[in-house]
Amino acid sequence: MYDFNTLGFIGAGNMCEALLVGIISSDFFQAENIILSDIREDRLKYLKEKYNVKTSIDNRETVKASDIVFLSVKPQDIATVLSEMEGILNPNQMVISIAVGIPTYFIESYIKEEVPVIRVMPNTPALFQSAMSVLSKGKYANDEHLNFAKRLLSCVGEVDILPEKLQNAAAAINGCGPAYFFHFIESLVDAGISVGLSKDIAYKLAVQTMEGSVKMLKESDRSPTELRRMVTSPGGTTIAALEQLEKGAIRFFIIKAIKAATNRAEELSQKLNK
């Protein structure tokens, strides 16, 4: 059993704060055992005052003080951050990365030592402890590391485990997915306004209907197809609307969108090798 008592975040952005809230509220780590590192001193001051955690502007010192090193930096900054960590990490620590599109082998190539690395793709609903996160283990991580990371990420929502080769495909749904839903809500609101509703009413109708529909999906034992058929009467208003969506080939373009997001993630990963 690994003895992980301290948690360090490299990068203190919104996702870091979302994870911080879930971790502290669940008592997974005590605030005094968490340290945040970032180049923005004003951001660190805010988080320290709000959550009573430790802070540092020195990534190397944060890594040295942490059993778990959480990389919550932008993908374009990952190489710089990893360069700072060379020669510090040891196999008794663990690295968890939420850098989008960055494979575990890339992180391992900088660390040199046989340090366990876990790759995670959470999503923005983590801000409300409603995330869907996907985990994959690197070359030196075992199932115990993976299970620890799963319990840690469960502080902000649901978690699943996938082979790393499927991470980019999963990210096209869970990582990008919130934007698809927000775009759809925007469209419903605009449509409601176009048929005479006020913006406020159209927004409330769209959001509450989406929330209720998700609840039906999660709590009933029916498939999306069955639930759709329950709402769709022959010759009624719903089928008239659905016919227009099908004329616009909405299903075809959703599939194309997911493939485009997956392919883009693959392209970003491949650029790391150049």
Q: In this predicted model, what pLDDT tens digit does every residue of 198-208 receive, in sequence order?
A: 999 999 999 99
In a domain, 167, yes or no: no
| Domain shared by 81 and 122, yes or no | yes
Which amino acid would we find at residue 21?
V
The pLDDT of 81-87, averaged and rounded, is 89
Indicate whether 25 and 128 sit together in one domain: yes
- Report, as an integer, the average pLDDT of 142-148: 95
Are residue 41 and residue 114 in the same domain, yes or no? Answer: yes
pLDDT band at 3 (very low <50, low <70, confident <90, very high): confident
Share of the chain above pLDDT 90, in %: 84
pLDDT for the residue numbered 1: 58
Are 204 and 147 members of one domain? no
Pick the last residue of a domain from 103, 137, 162: 162
* Number of folded domains that form the chain: 2
Q: Same structural domain for residues 182 and 98?
A: no
Which residues have CB under 8 Å from 44's CB, separation 6+? Answer: 12, 36, 37, 38, 55, 56, 57
Report, as an integer, the average pLDDT of 230-253: 92
Residue 273 has pLDDT above 80, yes or no: no
pLDDT at 17 (0 to 100): 93
Last residue of a domain, one of 131, 162, 193: 162
Indicate which CATH number applies to the domain containing 259. Answer: 1.10.3730.10
In this prediction, residues 239-266 reach a mean pLDDT of 91
* 171 belongs to a structural domain: no
pLDDT at position 180 is 96
CATH number at residue 30: 3.40.50.720
Angle, helices 104-111 vs 78-85, to 10°: value is: 30
One domain for residues 110 and 158:
yes
In a domain, 93, yes or no: yes
- Nearest alpha-carbon partner for 5 in 35, 48, 25, 26: 35
Q: Is the pLDDT assigned to residue 274 strictly greater than 60?
A: no
Q: What is the mean pLDDT of the chain?
A: 93
Residue whose tokens read 């089928």: 239
Domain span at 263: 177-267
Q: Whose CA is closest to 95, among 13, 24, 1, 11?
A: 11
pLDDT value, residue 87: 86
Tell me what pLDDT residue 146 has: 95
Domain membership of residue 272 (yes or no) is: no
Please indicate, yes or no, whether residues 60 and 155 belong to a single structural domain of this protein: yes
The torsion angles phi and psi of 226, rounded to 5 degrees, stand at -65, -45
pLDDT (mean) for 183-198: 97
Query: pLDDT of 219-228, one tens digit each?
Result: 999 999 999 9
CA 108 to CA 131: how far, in whole Å?
Answer: 26
Calculate the CA 229 to chain-centre distance. Answer: 32
The answer to whether residues 17 and 131 belong to one domain is yes
Pair (60, 119) in one structural domain: yes
pLDDT value at residue 219: 95
CA distance 166 to 175: 13
Stretch 34-59: mean pLDDT: 95
Query: Measured between alpha carbons, how far is 131 from 117 in angstroms, rounded to an integer?
Result: 21
